[in-house]
A and B are shown apart, each in its own frame.
Chain A
Amino acid sequence: MRPEMYEYQYDWMIANSIRIIKRAMNNSEKELEEMLKYMPYFRDSVSVLLGQGEVSKAFIRLIDTWTDLYFYNAEKIGYKRVMTTFIMNPVLFHAMKIAPLNCELITIFGNAFYLRGSFDFMDHCIAEGFTETSCSAQRATLGAYLAGLAKPFDMVLINSTGTCDANANAFAFLANRLKKPLYAMDFPHRIPGEEESDYTLKDMKAMIAFVEHHTGRTVDYERLGELLTTVGKQEEMIVEIQELMRAVPCPVPALCNFMLYVGHLIGMGLPEYTEMLRAILEMGKRNVEAGRAGTASGKERARIYAIYIDHYCTKLDYWKWFDEMELSHLGGIPCATFYEDQPYLKGNEEMGWGVDTSSPEGMIRTVAELGARQPMARSIRGPYDAPNQWLDETLTMMKHYRADCGIFAGTYGCRNTWSNNQSLAREVEKYGYPTLICTADAIDERPQSWVQTQAQIEEFLTIRGIV
């Protein structure tokens, strides 16, 4: 890596950037404009993130809590650290005083807050021996930690084996290279099912035993109960927000989807997440009453469903573009939570999960079932056309949210989806939904720049008559 990349610790840079935004956001517009001059690296990302008023502020407070308190200063609050994947829900860790380091989010923040994105760290990861064909989502974080540019973590815990090899492999490499204990939950390829649930519960308990063995920490069931109660309330708010999104025009801004699932990945059970959800709900309700879309102009030209993930490159251009194009974002795999009250589960209630705080066993089962319904683990663990898998979920959501079209965005390392996105697109098109397979890497902008990606998507929207 270039020598200047070693000047600052990667984790400090991210935590500090967010802290600066948090300090800046409560100033007047003019003051903020002035302060942006002192943030040359990430002023564009800041402009996008702060574009949603009170919702933005609540989001910044949430990610600041996570980065400052848990990610960067875990040891100060007596927490250990675990390197984990975005699909591992954080609730259980908080009940064991362990800070979850969400690897993919750390890469995405690196992209947003470094001048040239996190690509130097991605390349460093390859220089350290990691395979260059793997997913870009983990590579920057891996590169930073392998370069010794972040505070060390204590262990690696994942739940992506059986769902995503590229993901699981990245953590395996990191754990084996740095000689850290590793536990990998895996999921059967069917969901739901009594035997499948049974297996996942056993696996969850085995993971807890593993953590107990390696850290000496046990589950504080009282704390877990409190967290899960909060989670239940948060899920109810998410149900309401996502039901609002069915309205035409969609009253929720595109960026709120990102905020919603980032929060879901790191903020479940935390009061800051509740506050942010409340702000989104209030904004959504105001827009619905006024008949406004969530876009800046209040107009909606088309409704897009993200068939897989979104685009997370430097400057967060994708979200800005959504707004400029007056497009509504109806969510995607990362956004759906499958909480039992979600209306899209009608007739398929078994596919949902609920909160049970009546006993420790009930709580662990809740965490296990919730985990089994996290993004990816839920919908791409089995054949794409199996019940409740990718095709089923895509068509259900596109119909439920009244989508005009679907866009697939993923990373080149995603063997799983790139192996059959063409078959999926073909089937989705048969139902009358124009579908684009975007050829960009969602997190590494170098193979296909945002400019090229934007042109590709706009061309699709134009020639298919969507806008």
Chain B
Amino acid sequence: MIETFQSATEQVLNPYAAEWVQEGKKVVGYTCNFVPGEILHAANILPYRLRGHGTESLDIADAYYGPFVCSFPKCLLQLIGEGKYKFLDGAIITTSCDSVRRLNDNWRSVAKDIPDILPAFFHYLGAPYKVVPHSVEWYIKELKMLIEHLESHFGVSITEEKLKKSIEAYNVSRQLLTELDEFRIAEEVILSGADMYTVVLAGTVMPRDMYNDHLERLLAKVKEKRPPVMSGRKRIMVAGSICDDAELISLIEDAGAVVVAEGLCFGIRGLADRVRLDGDPLVALAERYMEENTCPRFIMSYDKRVTFLHDKAERARAQGVVFQNVRFCEFHGSENSLLESGFEEVGIPAVRLEREFGPLNETGRVRLRVDALLNRISEKSTTAE
């Protein structure tokens, strides 16, 4: 059912993006949800979220990033250094967190040693760390600077009208994903968590129209009353640090679970919410991308995140939660323990899992914790009976 989406996520340069490039069209990579894809779409540029999937070693990354840093940007830098992202015409690095923002510095440092790996368009986008009127204003300024830079470099014009059309296209994706999600959280789950995650991941690296088209087709198939695939499994929500690989979700599901919801930034967290179409589209984008972002880098919004995750778990009828974080991820590393306690207090078993980003060679460790969680859920159900 999801072959197209799978092939979009299996390689650094997927076949659809490769075709786009062959047609002479532009691709710009970006690090984080603070880059509204709509802006690039309005310039007929393919937004391409940078992923570390496929990293096999970190020798280049270690030389610049050093030892005490989150492996996500290190994996990115490794692939960049190996030339795997040479197809990009541009890159936008966001101030998501200390580790990711230093990708700006390190990419340029690596480029001094390894030729031809720095795209001609290179932009550093600031994103505020809280959502208050003056910080949204600041973010709008940053987006304006990005637009100006894109326009002058690529010789394009990103008008209000074009932005509105792009917003519409992205809202279609959001609507379709929301509809798909209903099948994923149903009593009889038709779409596994790993499959759903693959579908969502693909949206970060596929041309928008093609993506929407395939989403519609998938929705039609799913509506055809296919047999449930995940019967009798324990329903789990996964939350935490960046995860650009459906393998982690598969690993959790292999233990006897079905992942019915996620609070992950590559997942539906923040992706299913619409941008309003009235008023200034840039303001609408800024407000939506700031307000719907549930990253713990917004340290003043902890209560909002708690509500968001509780609501999500309730809606998906999750029986347990896996809070995972990439080692050295400050924000998730600590907040996960607060969230874990919070969920336990309301009677939902939760487990914390610290891992490295990259090839899943710690399956034993992951299973130790997931098995313990699933056992607790079983016992809880038995007691309830």
Contact = CB atoms under 8 A, between A and B. Distances in A.
B67 interface: yes
A173 B141 contact: no
A397 B99 CA distance: 26
Contacts of A129: 334, 337-338, 340-341
Interface stretch (A97-105, A229-237, A250-258, A416-424): A416-424
A124 B64 CA distance: 33
Contacts, number: 141
B330 A182 contact: no
A183 B132 CA distance: 11
Contacts of A418: 65-69
A206 B300 CA distance: 13
Contact of A421 (B66, B101, B108, B130): B66
B104 interface: yes
6 contacts: A129-B337, A173-B338, A188-B126, A195-B141, A419-B102, A420-B105
A164 interface: yes
B229 interface: no
Chain A contact residues (Cβ within 8 angstroms of B): what range? Answer: 35 or more
A233 to B, nearest CB: 33
Interface in B314-364: 325, 327-331, 333-335, 337-338, 340-341
A415 B330 contact: yes
A415 B69 contact: yes
B98 A189 contact: no
Contacts of A426: 109
A113 B313 CA distance: 47
B68 A172 contact: no
A168 B73 CA distance: 20
Given A130-B337, A165-B297, A189-B124, A420 B102 contact: yes
A166 B330 contact: yes
Contacts of B341: 129
Q: Which 8 residue pairs spanning A and B have beta carbons closest together?
A: A129-B337, A131-B333, A419-B102, A172-B299, A161-B129, A186-B129, A415-B98, A169-B330
A186 B105 contact: no
A338 interface: no
A384 interface: yes
Contact of A188 (B64, B68, B138, B337): B138
Given A131-B330, A420-B109, A423-B106, A183 B68 contact: no
A182 B299 contact: yes
Given A134-B333, A199-B138, A420 B64 contact: yes
A422 B66 contact: yes
Given A131-B330, A419-B99, 14 more contacts: A130-B334, A161-B129, A161-B299, A165-B98, A165-B99, A169-B299, A169-B335, A171-B299, A173-B338, A415-B98, A415-B102, A416-B102, A419-B65, A420-B109
Interface string B73-113: 10000000000000000000001011101101110110000
Contact of B68 (A169, A182, A385, A413): A413
A168 B299 contact: yes
A387 interface: no
Nearest to B77: A419
Nearest to B333: A131
Contact of B135 (A134, A186, A195, A420): A186
A214 interface: no
B370 to A, nearest CB: 20
Given A383-B104, A415-B99, A172 B69 contact: no
Interface residues of B, number: 48
A375 to B, nearest CB: 16
B130 A419 contact: no
Nearest to A206: B132
A385 B98 CA distance: 15
A186 B95 CA distance: 12
A202 B106 CA distance: 32
Nearest to A133: B328
- A173, A182, A384 — most chain B CB neighbours (10 Å): A173
Given A383-B124, A415-B330, A423-B64, A206 B134 contact: yes
A166 B141 contact: no
Contacts of A169: 296, 299, 330-331, 333-335
Interface in B285-299: 296-297, 299
Contacts of B299: 161, 168-169, 171-172, 182, 184
B36 interface: no
A261 interface: no
A336 to B, nearest CB: 21
B78 to A, nearest CB: 14
A172 B302 contact: yes
B300 A184 contact: yes
A348 interface: no
A187 B98 CA distance: 13
Contacts of B128: 162, 186
- B73, B134, B300 — most chain A CB neighbours (10 Å): B300
A275 interface: no
Given A131-B330, A161-B299, A412 B63 contact: no
A203 interface: yes
B64 A177 contact: no
Interface string A415-437: 11011111100100000000000
Nearest to A134: B330
A422 B68 CA distance: 13
Nearest to B62: A422
Contacts of A183: 300
Interface in B130-162: 130, 132, 134-135, 138, 141
A297 interface: no
Interface in A421-461: 421-423, 426
B62 to A, nearest CB: 10
A319 to B, nearest CB: 25
Contacts of A202: 134
B120 to A, nearest CB: 18
A415 B328 contact: yes
Interface string A395-418: 000000000000000001111101
A176 interface: yes
B143 to A, nearest CB: 14
A177 B338 contact: yes
A203 B300 CA distance: 14
Interface string B220-263: 00000000000000000000000000000000000000000000
B205 interface: no
Interface in B351-383: none
Contacts of B130: 161, 184, 186
A226 to B, nearest CB: 29
B129 A162 contact: yes
Given A172-B302, A173-B335, A420-B102, A133 B327 contact: yes
B190 interface: no
A342 to B, nearest CB: 26
A184 B296 CA distance: 13
Interface string A94-138: 000000000000000000000000000000000011110110000
Interface in A357-389: 382-385
B45 interface: no
A415 B337 CA distance: 20
B80 to A, nearest CB: 15
